[in-house]
Structure 1
Amino acid sequence: MGMSDKALAVIEQRNVDFYGDSLTAVRSDDGQIYVALAQMCQALGIDIQAQTRRIQRLEILANGFKGVAKLATPGGIQRGYVLRVDLVPLWLSGIRTSAVSDDVRPKLERFQREAAKVLWEAFQSGRLTADVDFDALLAQDSPEAQAYKMAQAVMQLARNQLLLRAQLSDHEQRLEAIESHLGDPGRYVTADQASQISQAVKAVALAFSKKSGRNEFGAIYGELYRKFGITGYKMLPARRFDEAMKFLTDWHEELTGALPF
């Protein structure tokens, strides 16, 4: 696996103190968060070459295993391999506790349980330590701890709402595209409504032409199509008929001071 043409660009780097071990997490140009593999292996006393080969053999891990061209280390800017943080628990679950020394075993279990969460939080909330005392304070359920957890819950709710809004918007756009492709007759304006749109466009175009001295029919239709994202007035969504008529009425009134339709 080379790192020359496929190397990730590091947008941001955070050094996290994980119970005394320094781990480097980076946010890359693909929007994902990764952890430097060499430091993880060093902290656990396991062979990085062997782990690199194992990760590359498993497709699900290999897809999140990348090279970065610029990784800030105590020895300067270096190249290195990184693993996407959400894959860290899966990678570590494949390391048998019996394969490491007795003194490392509790550390491996802690890495398996907590490392991905702590590394992710380094970018979400700026928390750069795995502070066991802080977690203990939260567990006491004091008024301050309750306030903190409430604030976290509000942030999570807001995040979920943002994601839901984006999903609903995407769903609505897809639905409109599908129904437009299928030509659902109930989706668009009726023949009578289409005629009203056409007459309104003509009235605006005539009023505009008197001022400009040019034939403005094409320009008015073009502006209507651009504003409502359609390619023909008969394709105007039925739910936007009133909006389109108001748009044309206001335009005509602005040009003439009168309401003809």
Structure 2
Amino acid sequence: MSREPSAPAPLPHEQLPIPLFDGVVLAVRSGDGLIFLDLRDLCATLGLDVASQRRRIQATDTLRLAPFRVSVGEKQMRTRDFLLLDDVPLWLLSVQQRRVNADVRERFSYVQTYLVAAVRQAFAQLTGLPDAPSSTIEDLSDLDRIDQALSQLAELGRRQAEIEQSQERARSAYRDLRSLLSQLRERVQELEHQVHVRLSPTQRGTIYRMVQAWGQARAERTPDVVPGIAIRRAWAEVNARFGVSTYTDLPAQRYDEIVQFVQDRYRDLTGKELPLVEQHELEDGDAE
């Protein structure tokens, strides 16, 4: 049975060559108004292999490549792959500097350095951590903000997807996103205010090691479950038992109860006792 021919690539609404990195890249506008840049021209300008870059882009969910039939000469039409302009910065970040043409490598390096700094700054703003080397963070418990911020960001994404289902909700997207960001900042402030009622670093380290041992024991007794999954299930049981969503929210006043809970579960599983080893005991032992 013969195979039906595929539909031809669309013609762009308009096209225009633009200067870039001492070269010329063909830009096109699609029917929906989006702008794309010719991948072949981009690679030629930077000295990259087109086929390799096409495979990398197609294997990346966050980059969009689209074919267009463009005019390349008098009465000559060719189908070429074009990269969405919005995705060009992400693609530039993924390119290895050593593969870039030496003539433009220095300028490319400046651009990539700026993009990396912008990403780091955005991450710092999102998490509330300092936009500086990690050595400036004095208290490791400040890193609790990361998971909280990422969870809130995921919630932002879900909210935005719901908002975009209708024009009416799309018009309220900006207000909703600002409200969620405000809630995120309030949550971070609340975490800072509640540090004194949370588990101390020593207590957290102790519970962490005990749950790790419990999860490892579960994995050893369940051949089809890998240790990582068994440990996550153990954490889920601890969080559910004490009514929290993450172990950093476990209340310090219930520390002994938490330890007893894990020890009881370990004993029920193995028939052995799980000793309570505080962090300072480990430090003393290491010093001997």
TM-score, normalised on structure 1? Answer: 0.39
Q: Which structure would you say has the larger Rg?
A: 1
Structure with the larger RCO, 1 or 2 (CA within 8 Å, 6+ apart):
1
